[in-house]
A = this chain, B = another copy of it.
Amino acid sequence: VIITVCLNPALDITHRVPAVNWSGVNRPAGVWARPGGKGLNVARTLHAIGAQVLAMGLAGGATGQAVQSALAQLRVPAALTPISGETRRTFAVADDSSGEVALFNEPGPLVSAGEYREFSVQYQRALAGCRAVVLSGSLPRGLPPGTYAELTGLAAAAGVPVLLDAHGEALTRALAAGPAVVKPNLAELEEIVGRSLSGAGWAAVARAARELRTAGARAVVVSLGPCGVWASTGDGDWRAVPAAAVAANPTGAGDALAAGLAQGLVLGRPWPHRLRHAVALATASVAAPVAGEFSQGDYDRALAGIRVSRDEAG
């Protein structure tokens, strides 16, 4: 089982409207509500590719209930710890006439120390039977920035590898706990090393990634959007580049990448294989209209087009 942790999940509501009247009454032509938040997107993608997964995290109120029943309907196994606050909604209005999307993200609940402790107990219990942990997404209000460091440390102590998808202080603090993989994008990597990397060449990216490995991460996979990924691993540095940039819905592509990397980790695949499949999954998920979903055809096509090369420059 792969545990995906989502401490700040969401109910993602989408309204498709033929032509939005921004100062009047609209009757959406399509309405969707899905479990969201990065950790739950990872869980849904892992479930879709046939991995055994358990979504853990925090959920509260009527919206928390809605998230749990939506997960149950999708048959994604979940054990979310109850909190007294109300799980957040995100609300997207997709305007067919302009192609634009307006997104409204609620702030989410305040989590108490006691609620986090209760989650932590359940998490430690679940670590016993598990093969990997994915920690991903922003921390809810009330949890200190050292939270992912603690959860990474608990997994390490139980001999369970961690894939960490976070940024800023939550990421830097967790490095010393030795996550198996961290997965910053270029902006997040820049934020951590404190210098600009765009246009600085692969050697600069390699040096920055190596700093994160020196700080404790066993591998660093830098996601570069439509350019694929650059990876610094114990088995050398690698690039994986998709055949062509896909212009559709990039939301959730990073979560699909994380899901692919977690599965490759659990299956013990060599790095080139892991990267190829993870980037194919991310590419296919960009082609899908909805985060956490993809079509097998898109996946197969993307897989065929990806070039993986060892990078000797670093």
Cβ distance A306 to chain B, nearest Cβ, rounded Å: 30
Contacts of A309 in B (CB 8 A): none
Q: Let me know if B89 and A13 touch, CB within 8 A.
A: yes
A96-104, A119-127, A133-141, A289-297 - the one binding chain B: A96-104
Instruction: For chain A, give the interface size range.
Output: 20 to 34
Complex interface residues of chain A between 18 and 47 (CB less than 8 A to chain B): 20-28, 31, 33
Contacts of A23 in B (CB 8 A): 98, 100-102
Asked if A66 is at the interface of the complex by the 8 Å CB criterion, the answer is: yes
Give A25 to B251 CA distance when docked, in angstroms: 12
Give A102 to B15 CA distance when docked, in angstroms: 13
Q: Count chain B CB atoms within 10 A of each CB in A17, A27, A31, A101 and give the residue with the most.
A: A31
A27: which of B21, B62, B105 is its contact (CB, 8 Å)? Answer: B105
Complex interface residues of chain A between 73 and 99 (CB less than 8 A to chain B): 89, 91, 93, 95, 98
Contacts of A98 in B (CB 8 A): 23
Asked if A107 is at the interface of the complex by the 8 Å CB criterion, the answer is: yes
Asked if A214 is at the interface of the complex by the 8 Å CB criterion, the answer is: no
Q: Let me know if B15 and A104 touch, CB within 8 A.
A: yes
Would A107 and B31 be within 8 Å (CB), given that A15-B91, A21-B102, A66-B66 are in contact?
yes
Contacts of A20 in B (CB 8 A): 22, 102
Cβ distance A252 to chain B, nearest Cβ, rounded Å: 15
Q: Let me know if B103 and A26 touch, CB within 8 A.
A: yes
Asked if A169 is at the interface of the complex by the 8 Å CB criterion, the answer is: no
Cβ distance A275 to chain B, nearest Cβ, rounded Å: 30
Give A31 to B20 CA distance when docked, in angstroms: 21
